[in-house]
């Protein structure tokens, strides 16, 4: 029989909850000897007991089985610590304000690590009144595309779903935005900090000449890549 929940996990959770083997046994309707067998790897809890065990420890069955207990020490979590999980099978994108145990299509997902934008994932941000217009210089084919973009502040998130053969662009309300994320289905998660002083119009990213030069350089690079493919 494959071990699907370890006795060490049960023991750790029991001791953390200040329970004796007898107390846990009484709550689950088994003997304290049974609890001892589980904790010394001489037996395993029946699958029908997984939910009651998890319930006594106030965790999910998934956490119990994985052995990774999630502690939400800061319920008013800073949104800048947001995590993004993306399923490699269906592309489903899931946002979490903190640690989480997330499965999709039977796969345990790990949070994507954001990298800084690079020459293959250039981002252009234009300020338009109270919005940021964000454009990613990237192909949007069915095989290679940007799947979503998000703007995160200390207390909120704006998330836009993008689609193949569409435009890799989005608009976000400027107020409070500190970081912009976008996800490439091949290369993963990227992020960029908007210009400092985004709530100060005079110090905003309003240098149209510089922006046009950057966009021109990106368009030339993209054209070169297209010609090479041909």
pLDDT digits (tens, 9 = 90+) for 38-95: 998 888 888 889 899 989 988 888 778 777 655 544 444 578 888 999 998 898 999 9
* CATH 2.60.40.730, the chain: domain bounds: 115-229
CATH code linked to domain 115-229: 2.60.40.730
* CATH 1.10.260.40, the chain: domain bounds: 7-66
Q: How many helices (H) and strands (E) does the chain have?
A: 6, 12
pLDDT of residue 164 exceeding 90, the answer is yes
Is 7-66 a CATH 1.10.357.10 domain? Answer: no
Cα–chain center distance at 230: 36
For residues 226 and 185, give the distance between their C-alpha atoms in angstroms, rounded to a whole number.
Answer: 19
């Amino acid at each position: 029989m494959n071990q699907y929940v370890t006795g060490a996990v049960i023991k750790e959770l029991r001791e953390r909850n200040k329970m004796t083997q007898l107390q846990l046994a009484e709550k689950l309707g088994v003997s304290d000897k049974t609890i001892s067998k589980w904790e010394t790897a001489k037996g395993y809890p029946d699958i029908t007991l997984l939910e009651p065990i998890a319930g006594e420890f106030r965790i999910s069955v998934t956490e119990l089985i994985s052995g990774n207990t999630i502690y939400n020490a800061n319920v008013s979590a800073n949104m800048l610590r947001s995590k993004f999980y993306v399923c490699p099978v269906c592309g489903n994108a899931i946002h979490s304000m903190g640690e989480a145990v997330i499965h999709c299509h039977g796969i345990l997902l790990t949070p994507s690590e954001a990298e800084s934008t690079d020459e293959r994932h250039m981002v252009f941000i234009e300020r338009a009144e109270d919005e940021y217009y964000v454009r990613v210089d990237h192909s949007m084919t069915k095989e290679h595309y940007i799947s979503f973009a998000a703007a995160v502040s200390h207390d909120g998130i704006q998330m836009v779903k993008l689609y193949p053969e569409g435009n890799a662009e989005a608009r976000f309300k400027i107020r409070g935005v500190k970081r912009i994320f976008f996800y490439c289905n091949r290369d993963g998660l990227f992020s960029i900090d908007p210009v400092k002083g985004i709530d100060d119009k005079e110090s905003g990213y309003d240098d149209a000449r510089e922006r046009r030069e950057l966009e021109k350089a990106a368009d030339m690079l993209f054209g070169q890549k297209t010609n090479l493919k041909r």
